């Protein structure tokens, strides 16, 4: 009887243990079920967040598998590519402009290896007035996403997918094309204007040449009268010859201006050649002074040279027209800014140096933007010519001096 009671008690304990384990298993199963429901809900919410974000995104977004199959594209992507909701996303290649297709396919394959950025055109399915297919310009950027696992075939990190974003840059492309056309039109108009100015300058020299010949003829007729006229009329003849010299120099200056316009055109086209010639700088300075200062009766004028100039310079190889042009500009400024002074003083000073920049002029600086000409310093005794013009005008402040070599300042 004792054995029967023990067996019954043992059976009861095993039954209770089984029921306890079954209850625990049911509880764990319920917990797992709840956890699965929670994760499923989280995944649904995450998917909803991404699809909502992709849906309102102003850019086109796509996702493709490693085999190249496009498995997702947002609404913007479909609109730009012309693919409908029921169309196969892999048909995007049919919507790319034929001229861009090869390059786009190469970039699509490359994006599974590295980050890429590329511009191409989608066909819109419409045509413009001339029958040319209308396009939408796209700037695309794409990159692959890698997982933690190693691909056994390649030994590299496993490629999970590639994703890309597309931006519509049609307006920018149209603006760039418009600007390019404007630039071409402006260049053509500029060339036409330059050609007209060149033509006008060339024709301008013809009457100047005739005027110069007439003045020279007048001087030839007046010159013999200097010895045959009475003393009372001799001064008038000399004054007329002096005025004729000034007119001749002014005509020469106008001819140089016409030449300068032609030279500026050559300079703009990289065709300018310096016309080097042996000359005496002091004679250039005298001619400029005679042409400009002589007409100003109230100007006290002086032309001086330094001992170094007298030692180093007699004849020098320079472009006399360019030197005269610079000196004439400086002297004209002196005349202009001393016009209302009680007394007017203008001094031209010539100096020379064997160094560049001159060591005796510490305020000089070497301008690296000025190219050295091929004909510079080719003589056996190279020398640097320094020309300065000094006046008692109103002067200028340092801030104004900074604008001195700016155009039209």
Nearest alpha carbon to residue 332 among 318, 317, 346, 342: 346
Helix 320-337 vs helix 281-292: angle between axes, to the nearest 10 degrees? 40
Query: Which pLDDT value is given to residue 275?
Result: 77
Q: Is 299 helix (H, G, I), strand (E, B) or coil?
A: strand
CA–CA separation, 279 and 260 (whole Å): 20
Whether the Cβ atoms of residue 289 and residue 301 lie closer than 8 Å to each other: yes
Residues 6+ away with beta carbon under 8 Å from 148 = 157, 158
Q: Largest Cα–Cα distance of the chain, in whole Å?
A: 182
Report the candidate in 316, 209, 195 with the shortest Cα–Cα distance to residue 262: 195
139-183 pLDDT, tens digit per residue, is 999 999 888 887 777 777 888 899 999 999 998 998 888 888 888
pLDDT per residue over 56-92, tens digit each? 778 899 999 989 999 988 888 988 888 888 889 999 9
What residues contact 335, with CB distance under 8 A and at least 6 apart? Answer: 292, 293, 296, 299, 346
Distance CA 174, CA 180 (A): 10
The predicted model scores a pTM of: 0.44
Instruction: Give the pLDDT of residue 373.
Output: 41
pLDDT of res. 102: 94
CB 281 within 8 A of CB 326: no
Q: Which helix (H) or strand (E) holds 349?
A: strand 344-353
Stretch (H or E) spanning 292: helix 281-292
Distance in angstroms (rounded) separating the CA atoms of residues 192 and 198: 10
CA 62 to the chain's CA centroid: 37
- Which class for 291: exposed (0-12), middle (13-18), buried (19 or more C-beta within 10 A)? buried
Q: What is the pLDDT along the chain (409 residues), one digit of tens a residue?
A: 556 666 776 777 777 787 777 888 888 888 888 888 888 777 777 677 767 666 677 889 999 998 999 998 888 898 888 888 888 999 999 999 999 999 999 999 999 989 999 999 999 888 877 788 889 999 999 999 888 887 777 777 888 899 999 999 998 998 888 888 888 877 777 777 677 676 666 666 666 666 767 777 777 767 776 665 566 667 777 777 777 777 777 777 777 777 777 666 666 666 666 778 888 899 998 888 887 776 667 788 888 999 988 888 888 888 888 888 788 888 888 888 887 888 888 899 999 888 776 666 655 555 544 444 434 444 456 788 888 898 888 887 777 777 766 655 5
């Amino acid at each position: 009887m004792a054995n029967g009671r023990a067996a019954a008690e043992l059976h009861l304990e095993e039954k209770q243990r089984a029921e306890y384990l079954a209850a625990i298993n049911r509880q764990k199963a319920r917990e797992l079920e709840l956890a699965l429901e929670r994760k499923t809900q989280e995944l649904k919410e995450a998917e909803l967040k991404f699809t909502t974000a992709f849906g309102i995104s102003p850019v086109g977004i796509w996702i493709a598998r490693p085999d190249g199959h496009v498995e997702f594209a947002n609404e913007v992507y479909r609109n730009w590519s012309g693919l409908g909701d029921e169309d196969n996303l892999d048909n995007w290649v049919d919507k790319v402009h034929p001229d861009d297709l090869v390059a786009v396919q190469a970039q699509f394959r490359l994006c599974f290896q590295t980050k890429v950025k590329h511009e191409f055109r989608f066909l819109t399915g419409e045509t413009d007035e001339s029958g040319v297919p209308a396009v939408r310009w796209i700037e695309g950027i794409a990159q692959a996403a890698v997982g933690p696992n190693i691909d056994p075939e390649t030994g590299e990190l496993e490629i999970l997918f590639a994703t890309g974003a597309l931006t519509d840059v049609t307006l920018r492309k149209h603006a760039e094309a418009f600007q390019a056309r404007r630039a071409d039109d402006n260049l053509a108009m500029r060339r036409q204007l330059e050609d007209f100015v060149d033509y006008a300058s060339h024709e301008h020299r013809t009457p100047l040449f005739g005027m110069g010949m007439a003045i020279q003829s007048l001087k030839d007729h007046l010159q013999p009268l200097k010895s045959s006229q009475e003393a009372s009329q001799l001064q008038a003849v000399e004054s007329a010859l002096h005025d004729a010299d000034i007119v001749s120099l002014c005509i020469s200056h106008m001819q140089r201006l016409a030449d300068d316009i032609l030279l500026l055109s050559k300079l703009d086209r990289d065709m300018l050649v310096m016309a080097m010639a042996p000359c005496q700088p002091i004679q250039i300075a005298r001619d400029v002074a005679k042409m400009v200062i002589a007409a100003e009766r109230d100007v006290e004028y002086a032309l001086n040279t330094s001992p170094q100039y007298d030692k180093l310079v007699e004849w020098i190889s320079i472009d006399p027209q360019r030197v005269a042009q610079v000196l004439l500009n400086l002297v004209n400024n002196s005349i202009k800014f001393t016009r209302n002074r009680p007394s007017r003083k203008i001094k031209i000073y010539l100096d020379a140096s064997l160094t560049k920049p001159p060591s005796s002029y510490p305020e000089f600086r070497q301008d690296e933007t000025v190219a050295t000409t091929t004909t510079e310093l080719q003589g056996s005794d190279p020398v640097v010519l320094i020309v300065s013009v000094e006046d008692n005008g109103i002067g200028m402040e340092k801030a104004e001096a900074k604008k001195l070599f700016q155009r039209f300042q």
